[in-house]
Amino acid sequence: MLTFVSVVVGTKATITANGDTNLWLTSLNQSDDRQTDSML
């Protein structure tokens, strides 16, 4: 049960981190779109 909870919490943390990264990438210069797409 504890392992399951850890996985769920870890997944939520990862999703949140990815969301923050996406917001940061979106705020970058539009000329970086091609590089950003290759990273995702």
Q: What is the pLDDT of residues 3-40, one digit of tens each?
A: 877 887 878 877 777 777 776 667 765 555 566 565 55
Give me the pLDDT at residue 31, please. 53
Per-domain boundaries in the chain? 1-28
Backbone dihedral region for residue 15 (phi beyond 0: left; psi -120 to 50: alpha; all else: beta): alpha
Give me the pLDDT at residue 6, please. 81
Give me the pLDDT at residue 25, please. 66
- Kindly state the tokens that stand for 23: 């917001």
The span from the CA of 8 to the CA of 13, in Å, is: 9
